[in-house]
Amino acid sequence: MCVVCHLFTNLKWFSQNLDIVDMTSSNHLDIKYQWDPSRDGDSAILTPTASVRIKRDLLEIFKDPPPGIYVVGDESDIRYVHAIIVGVMDTPYEGGFFYFLLKCPADYPILPPKVKFMTTDAGRVRFNPNLYKNGKVCLSILGTWTGPAWSPAQQISTVLLSIQSLMNEKPYYNEPGYDRERTPGDAKRYNEYLRHETLRVAVCGMLENECHLSIPPQLVEMMESTFLQFFDLYTETCRDNLRSDGEFYIDPFGGNTGCNFEYTKILERLETIRSNLQKKQNIPVSLPFTDGEGSDEKDV
């Protein structure tokens, strides 16, 4: 039964006894942050079964990690889980680090966790039709979208895998009503925009932590080692796209207008991040498969 019908049956049944909430009134504000784990104001204490279950969900991910998904429980509050999804190869998100904050409700898993997407360049980039700039994740199992609801037999990895599947090769088509391009080439232009923003925000921005996110150290370490592993891929993408530098980007969903592609600048940032990491990790400058120090020259 769809949400509307479901509500309708409920309404019919109870309207005699209850004042129906006015959807247009000041209620808006309370409802507005219901999805948001950092602002929902919910401080209820977990039931004992809920906290055991959260640990088991995490254990399950540690035991059998889904590719590209990394999670860490919060050190001081077990309700919170930090997760990074690494963008899948051959998608515009490839190699990017997408950070999510999850919060389990007191009666988890009766209700789903709440999720906030944190890699948004401080609210400026909408990385997917379902990942809003304000961090909201639109997903039916989270109750923030229509479709199949959460079930208590699901787990934290179910949520992260669903998000990962949104971040696919052609995310343009995720948007309802956009099963065909509004303007020919939109899907491709959206991918170009996302590819650039992935490198700018989800790679450089995340490694530099320019938005001052509180990312747990284990995840930072993972990003650093993955960064070094993917370094050549990042630089290759930049070089392949250098010719678009200076052009305006086009976000078919109307975000971030008036900005330019800046692959040259991204290349510089990538190099700086790498050399800082190498200093920090005290890795000898010569890496395998590179001729001595001049790894910059390798791809030229």
Partner 1 sequence: MVIVIMGDEAKNSSTATEDVSQLNQDELIMAQQRQIEKEISETIPLVGDLENILLLEHEYSNDDVYQEKVKNLAKKYKSIRRTRPDGNCFFRAFSFAYIERLLDKKEDFDAFYKKTAKSKDDLVELGFQQFTVEDFYDTYLDVLKRVGDIAEVEGAKTELHSLFNDQGYSDYMVVYLRLLTSGQLQKEKDFYSCFIEGHTTVEDFCHQEVEPMYKESDHIHIIAACAALGTGVRVVYMDRGTGKAVTEHDLPEGCVPSVHLLYRPGHYDILYPI
Length of the chain as a residue count: 300
204 is catalytic: no
Q: Which of residues 1-20 bind partner 1 (CB under 8 A)?
A: 1, 3-4, 6-7, 9-14, 17-18, 20
Which is nearer to partner 1, 65 or 294 (by Cβ)? 65
Q: Find the part of the chain contacting partner 1 (CB under 8 A) among 142-150, 195-203, 241-249, 271-279.
A: 142-150
Nearest CA among 83, 88, 126, 98 for reference residue 230: 88
Direct distance between the N- and C-terminal alpha carbons of the chain, in angstroms, rounded to an integer: 59
Candidates 2, 5, 104, 138; catalytic one: 138
Rounded CA-CA distance 20/25 in Å is 12
Residue pair 108/50 in contact by the 8 Å Cβ criterion: yes
Which of 74, 192, 251, 271 touches partner 1 (CB under 8 A)?
74
Which of 40, 66, 143, 239 touches partner 1 (CB under 8 A)?
143
Residue 72 to residues 54, 217, 285, 300, Cα–Cα distance (Å): 11, 9, 31, 39
Q: Find the part of the chain contacting partner 1 (CB under 8 A) among 48-56, 161-169, 180-188, 195-203.
A: 48-56
- Mark out the alpha helices in the chain (DSSP H runs): 3-14, 27-32, 48-63, 156-166, 186-197, 206-208, 217-241, 263-281, 295-298
Three-state DSSP class for 134? Answer: coil
Q: How far is the CB of 117 from partner 1 (least distance, A)?
A: 11
CA trace torsion 271, 276, 281, 284 (10° rounding): 60
Q: Which of residues 206-235 bind partner 1 (CB under 8 A)?
A: 210-214
Q: Which of residues 96-125 bind partner 1 (CB under 8 A)?
A: 101, 107, 109-111, 116, 118, 121-124
Which of 44, 89, 151, 225 touches partner 1 (CB under 8 A)?
151
On the CB side of 250, CA atoms within 13 Å amount to: 12
Judged by the rule CB under 8 A, the positions of this chain that interact with partner 1 are 1, 3-4, 6-7, 9-14, 17-18, 20-21, 23, 27-28, 31-32, 34, 38, 47, 49, 52-53, 56, 60, 74, 76-77, 80, 101, 107, 109-111, 116, 118, 121-124, 132-136, 143-155, 210-214
Q: Just list the catalytic residues.
A: 138
